[in-house]
Chains A and B, each alone.
Chain A
C-alpha cells in the first residue's frame, strides 16, 4: 500500500466519529443522487410505457404520391397542389418486405394491417369506428388487447369483432351480441362481438375496433395490398434510426413513435434537466462538505504537517496524504450512499409494472456507477484546496513552539 494512502487512512481512522459523520454526509448526498436518477428515469419509463405501450414504435405506410412543384419553393409565389386521389394508398408486395423487416436486428414484432373507417350500427344507434384488421395471432402484439381485455376473449375469426369499452357502452353492446359494420367503401357485414377492451387511451377505447385481416380486406376492398405495417422494437429509443433505415431501404414512409409524441419527449427532457440540476446540487453539497472538513483537518494537523516537512517529506507527499483522504471519503461515501439507495429502491416495483396509483421509480436507473465515480472525483477535487494549503505549512512556525 502506498505510504501516503496509509497515512491518509490513519488520519481518517484516528477520528472515527468525525470521519463517520463526514462519510454519512457524503452518503446522503449520493443517496439523493441515486434516488433522483431512479425517479426521473422511472417516470420516463412509466410515461413512455403508458403512451407508447399501445401504439407501434414504427408505422410504415405507402409514401404519398402528391405532385410536387418543379420550381421548388419560391417565396413570392403561392402555389396550390392537389392531393392525388386516383389510387387507394396501399402497400403492395408486403410479402417481400415483411421478411426483410423481421430480419432486422432490433425488430421484435412486424404486423401487417388493413385499416379503414366505417360505422357500427346497432338498431337505431350508429357510431363511427376506426377498423384495424390484423392477423389473429398478432392481435395483442401492438396494442396489448389481451392485457386490456375487460370482457370476452381476443380470439378472432372471420366474423368476430373486438370493440373498445367506450364504443360498446355507446352502442349498448355486450359480448356475443351481433353488430352491423358498414365500411367507407360501402361494404356491410354482420359481426359478433368477441371481446371488449379498455386500454386507457380515449381514441382507442371510444373509436377502435379490431377484426381479422381477412375480414378487413373484404370490408375495405383491398384483396392484394395492405394499408400499413406496424413494428415494435426491442429498444424504443432506437425508433428514429431504425425508421430512417426502413424508409431508405423500402421507399415507404416509416414514422417513428417519437414524431407524434414530440411533446412527451420535450417534457421528459425538461424533467431530466431538472433532475440533473438537483443531482448537481447534491454533488456541490458533497464537494463543499468534504472541502470544509478537510480544511479543518489541515488546521488541526498543522504542527504534524510541519514535522513531516522537517523530516524531509516533500510538498507533493503532503498533498497526496490529503487528496487520498478526499478520495477515500468519496469512495466510502459513494459506495455506502449508492448501497443505501439500492436498498431503499428495491421494494418498489418496476415502473412498467407499477399499478396506476403506484410510485414510478426505476431501481435499474439509479446511476450507481456514475454516482460513485462523480462523488469520488468531486471529493478529490474538494481536497485539492485543503491539500495545497497543507503543503504550504511552514515547518518553522510550528516547530518553534
Chain B
C-alpha cells in the first residue's frame, strides 16, 4: 500500500472547561488510504465528532500529529488550513447546514465560488452535474429551505464533492433521516466512492449503516480499534 491519505499519530484532545477537564482523544492512531470508505462507530459521547472536527482542520488537537497528503496539519496556521480544507476536504453534517438564502445549486457551487471570488460558468456546470447525480436535477433552483430533509442531505453531499476533495468527512449523515432516505443517501455515497477517488469517513452509531462500509473502526476509550 502506498502512502496513506491521512495518518494520525498519538492524537490527544483535551477540553479544559475550568475545573472539569475531559480528555476525549487519548493518543489515537489512525491511517486511511485513498479510495477508502470507513465507518467510525461508537456510542454517543465517545468522541466521534471531536475526531472528525480535528480531521476536518476545524479544530486543533492538544497534541499529536495529523498528516494529510504528506502535510503536517497539527499546529498549522488558520489561513493555510482554510485553503487546505477548501481544496481537499468535504463535509456532510448530521444537520445538513445548507445556506438558507441560497438555492440548491448556489449551495453546491459555494466552495468553488468562495475560493475564486466569483461563480464561474464551469463551476455552475459541475454543480448542476453533481445535483443531477444525487437525483435533484429538477430541484436545482429551489431555495434550500424548500427541500425535504433527505433532499437537503443530498444537496450537502453534492456540495461536499464540489471541489473534488480527497476526503469527505460525514458526521452521522443519516442520523436525522427516515430509513428510506438514509438508505438512499448511503447508496449515493457508496456509488460515488466506487466511481471517484474520494475516501469517506462516516461516523454513526447504527450498525446497519456501518455494515455498508468496507471497513469499520470503533471509538473505545479515546482510541480507535479496527474490526
Contacts and interface: CB of A to CB of B under 8 A. Distances in A.
Interface of A: 1-4, 6, 10-11, 14, 303-304, 307-315, 317, 395-396, 399-401
A310 B98 CA distance: 12
Nearest to B53: A396
Contact of A312 (B98, B115, B119): B115
Interface in B95-130: 95, 97-102, 110-111, 113-119
B207 interface: no
B61 interface: no
B114 A313 contact: yes
A10 B85 contact: no
B53 A312 contact: no
B116 A3 contact: yes
Contacts of B59: 396
7 contacts: A10-B102, A310-B85, A311-B110, A311-B111, A313-B114, A314-B82, A315-B78
B117 A2 contact: yes
B97 A303 contact: yes
Contact of B114 (A304, A317, A399): A317
Given A309-B82, A312-B85, A6 B101 contact: no
Contacts of B56: 310
A396 B61 CA distance: 13
A315 B101 CA distance: 20
A7 B201 CA distance: 31
Contact of A11 (B101, B113, B117, B163): B101
B49 A400 contact: yes
Interface of B: 49, 53, 56, 58-59, 78-79, 82-83, 85-87, 89, 91, 93, 95, 97-102, 110-111, 113-119, 159, 163
Given A310-B56, A311-B86, A399 B117 contact: no
Contact of A311 (B49, B78, B117, B159): B159
Nearest to B84: A312
A306 to B, nearest CB: 8
Nearest to A316: B79
B78 A312 contact: no
B110 A308 contact: yes
A312 B117 contact: no
A303 B118 CA distance: 22
A3 B101 contact: no
A308 B58 contact: no
A14 B144 CA distance: 13
A3 B119 contact: yes
Given A312-B111, A315-B78, A396-B59, A14 B117 contact: no
A396 B91 CA distance: 13
Nearest to B96: A307
B152 to A, nearest CB: 13
B83, B114, B118: which has the most chain A beta carbons within 10 Å?
Answer: B114
A304 B117 CA distance: 18
Contacts of B114: 3, 308, 311-314, 317
Contacts of A401: 95
Contacts of B95: 401
Nearest to A1: B118
Contact of A314 (B53, B79, B110): B79
Contact of A307 (B87, B99, B116, B163): B99
A346 to B, nearest CB: 39
B210 to A, nearest CB: 22
Contact of B97 (A4, A307, A312, A315): A307
A358 B101 CA distance: 53
Contact of A308 (B53, B83, B99, B116): B99
A221 B202 CA distance: 114
Contacts of B101: 10-11, 14
A310 B85 CA distance: 8
A396 B50 CA distance: 9
A399 B82 contact: no
B113 A312 contact: no
Contact of A3 (B93, B98, B99, B113): B113
Contacts of A312: 82-83, 85-87, 89, 111, 114-115, 163
Nearest to B88: A312
A2 B101 CA distance: 17
A67 B2 CA distance: 108
Contacts of B89: 312
B168 to A, nearest CB: 13
A1 B87 CA distance: 23
